[in-house]
Amino acid sequence: MRKYILVKKIFNGYSFIKDNVLVVEDGIILGTQKGIDTGKDEIIDRRDFILSPGFVDKHTHGIGGVDFFDTTADDLKTIQNYYFKHGVTTVLPTIVSAPFENIYKLAKAIKEAKKDPNFKLNIPGIFLEGPFINPAKKGAHDERFLQRPTAEKLEELISNCEEKIIDIALAPELLENPIEFFSKAAEKGINISLGHTNSSFEQAAKAHLLGAKNIVHFFNAMPQLHHRQNSITTYALLSDIKVELICDLIHLSPEIIKLTYKLKGAENIILISDSIAATDLCDGEYSLGSLRVIVENGICKLSDNTIAGSTLTMDKAIKNLVKIGIRLEDALMAATYNPSKLFSLECAAIKEGFRADFVLMDENLNVKEVYARGELVYKA
């Protein structure tokens, strides 16, 4: 049955369009149109709401008490509703540096959860934030699990993982044979993101040339911007590589966010939550991977005061961007089209043939309804 969703305005992933009706059938977008006739198959009248593609959170360690470091299929089925509540319809479960067995367990849990017809969350793959990172910039990663990146270890991971590894964080200065590593990643369709690194300007430039497309939580766990000592941070601002931003206004100041936006342009910014299990829960003691985390006033820290992820949600990140003066269209693009384009996903854009994953919001950007594959999965 075709569905016609009548709204106030539609954001298609890049801009607001003139059409105000989304047409959906069998979980797929058929297109948009201006106005609607009575007598159609099913009309969903939400003319007071804004429609946007579902948000993509490409960097999230968990939510609602669940950490992807140690997850079951039942956990995934439960926490999908936490993501839906915040407008997120696509997730890359992100695991901090861990024994390979934990990565394989996460992959098995995802594979098992996808067998359930009631599991609607789109999980196109796993993001490994470790173990191929620099110990000097480990942040909230357990140093015991860090490893030097090699093509052989990458092959081992790929061969034993039952779900696709879609993205891997890497400190490029650790590579002994960059061409071999990047070639293996490209062969397997894996994106390389640069992060938790002391990379020089030249090392970052070479990694970008070899295929790296993204920088992990920009400005965090990397050299600070310096007026004489160039580094990956300088390179990121001058090149067209994509950058993740944690816009909780804790990891980054409003001014640094606006500076990045001004220099990079909206098309090169990807909003992430970097959320941990404490997200949507009260302050207290939690874990991120194998490490103990204390959450006070929603801020997550290790015992040595190192920031350890966040309790940010994607809807809040969008509101924060708008609050500091970023255009709504650009904030939404950073949460939808940009991350989906990074991985060539057929979602997070209002486009014919794409997944019918979308969010309805009021004028204050509060999430009111969420649809996955054209089915209502959350209603405020």
Q: Binding site for Zn(2+): residue ranges?
A: 129, 196, 217
Is 116 a residue of the active site? no
**Annotation: binding site for substrate:** 140, 220-221, 228, 251, 307-309
What residues contact 262, with CB distance under 8 A and at least 6 apart?
A: none
Q: How far apart, in Å, are the Cα atoms of 62 and each of 67, 68, 92, 94, 258?
A: 5, 6, 10, 8, 27
What residues contact 29, with CB distance under 8 A and at least 6 apart?
A: 22, 23, 350, 351, 352, 353, 354, 355, 356
Distance between CA atoms of 222 and 216, rounded to whole angstroms? 9
Q: How far apart, in Å, are the Cα atoms of 242 and each of 99, 110, 201, 343?
A: 28, 27, 15, 12
Q: How many CA atoms lie within 13 A of 226 on its CB side?
A: 10
Distance between CA atoms of 341 and 121, rounded to whole angstroms? 18
**The two structure tokens encoding residue 46:** 């939400």
- Dihedral (C-alpha) 65, 286, 140, 341: value to the nearest 10 degrees? 10
107 DSSP 8-state letter: H
**The two structure tokens encoding residue 202:** 């030249």
Per DSSP, the chain holds a count of helices (H) and strands (E) of 10, 21
**Annotation: binding site:** 129, 140, 196, 217, 220-221, 228, 251, 307-309
Distance between CA atoms of 363 and 367, rounded to whole angstroms? 10
Distance between CA atoms of 52 and 366, rounded to whole angstroms? 12
Catalytic annotation, pick one of 274, 315, 330, 357: 274
Contact yes or no for 289/97 (Cβ under 8 A) = yes
Active site residues: 274
